[in-house]
Amino acid sequence: MEELQQKLESHYSVVNTIKHWLMGLGMGETLAEILKVGIAVVIMLLLSLSAYFIVRYIFVRLVLKLSKRTNSTWGQVFAEHKFFHRFAHIAPAIIIYLSIDVVLGGVFPSITEIIRVLCKIYMVVVVLMMLNAFLDSVNDLYRRLPFSSNWPITGLLQVVRIALVLVGGIGVVSILLKKDPSTLIVGLGASTAVLMLVFKDTISGLVASVQLTANNMLKIGDWITLPSRNLDGTVLDIGLTTVKVQNWDNSITTVPPFALVCESFVNWRGMTDGDGRRIKKAVLIDLKTVHFCTTDMLNRYAQIGLVAGYVAQLRAQLSAQSGAMPTGAQATATNLNIFRHYMLAYLKQHPSINQQSTLMVRLLQPDQYGIPLEVYCFSSIKAWVEYEGVQSDIMDHMVAASNAFDLKLFQRSSSSIDNPPPCNP
């Protein structure tokens, strides 16, 4: 790059002619020098912006069009991960780095050196971002292969990312100190044992923080649960050595980041970011109250609007009898069956239930306490207090509506004693 800069200096002689041209117009030497620098800076910025737009809006579009014509997915994947967009940032940095010495070198040498150092650091950072996008694209393309589930490469790519960050950090430090990177690497190698001993917790926290961030496992504001450490609350801060969590009782718990990597914890972010919050509640139906529907029962149930259509279908299938209905194909005409369809219709018209998610009312395995009737749906309201209100309203309605279908809920017989024995003081 230095040789290229020397070649370009010979083609920038027009910058020096600007000063003589301005002085020929009658301007003083100082004013002509200032205007020369200003014009040269404007030309440099225009060239850098032109290079950016050419790469960003012409080169990237050509690559995308070529990938579409060839039915290749690699171009689209690289574009999704912003690889080409980050590549466009290198062009203006190179132009400024090569031309700043010609533009300002003879007037502001100290400022010129600072800008050149900043350009080098900027290019190192952009290259690291490009390589990171490249690794993400490679991982995305690899996951589309049929054997990727058996041989994942996510861990390998994470190791490569860490190595790239270390190399980039050494490069930035060498630029700032104006030292050979190999000298820094040798010095780090000699002091590695001491650093590992002194900064053991810090290094472990750093590695754990990188893993948490790279895998998108945790971020500020997430609701997490870690039973082994009695942790249940919202993440307030993610530091190098501690993660601060505010529990629901407003107490503050701090845990080391590597604890969240080594131990299993639950992150409820998917629930809050998803389409709804799950409601899974069941009541126990007394088996003695489950019967085949009689004509009188069907007549009463037909007056309930939510199941009027379903009862009409049953009545069309069942023969008119005053006693119990026959078994066989008509055995589903039970009060519990109609109550189950009633609750399903109730949920389908409930304004706070997400109709696009799983929604069902089902019977579970009977036991000695009865047969569980479970409501399984998702509330479109995710806030904790409002969500609890929604599922409580559903349970209240299910308990109260069971009486209209001649059903009774199971409860311990001791709870129905009118005069319980007095408690001993």
**Helix H or strand E segment including 360:** strand 360-363
Instruction: Provide CB contacts within 8 A for 177, sequence distance 6+.
Output: 184
Residue 329: predicted pLDDT:
40
Q: Where are the alpha helices (DSSP H) in 291-348?
A: 295-301, 308-317, 335-348
Cα 241 from Cα 209, distance rounded (Å): 9
343: closest CA among 314, 374, 372? 374
Kindly report whether the global pTM for this prediction surpasses the value 0.75. no
Cα 103 from Cα 43, distance rounded (Å): 10
Structure token pair of residue 98: 């090569």
**DSSP assigned state of 227:** G
CA atoms within 13 A on the CB side of 110: 0
Structure token pair of residue 305: 């609007």
CA Rg value for the chain: 36
Cα 131 from Cα 137, distance rounded (Å): 10
Look at the domain 206-272 and name its fold. SH3 type barrels. (2.30.30)
Instruction: Provide CB contacts within 8 A for 324, sequence distance 6+.
Output: 291, 292, 294
Residue 32: predicted pLDDT:
62
Q: Helix and strand tally (H, E) in the chain?
A: 17, 8
Mean pLDDT of successive 10-residue stretches along the chain, which has 425 residues: 52 55 61 68 83 80 74 76 81 82 68 84 89 87 76 72 84 83 69 67 74 79 88 85 88 88 86 84 93 87 91 75 45 84 95 93 92 95 91 94 93 57 44
- Domains of the chain, residue spans: 2-152, 206-272, 274-413
Look at the domain 274-413 and name its fold. Alpha-Beta Plaits (3.30.70)
Residue 337: predicted pLDDT:
93
Residue 95: predicted pLDDT:
84
Given the structure tokens 């749906």, which residue do they identify? 377
Cα 354 from Cα 376, distance rounded (Å): 11
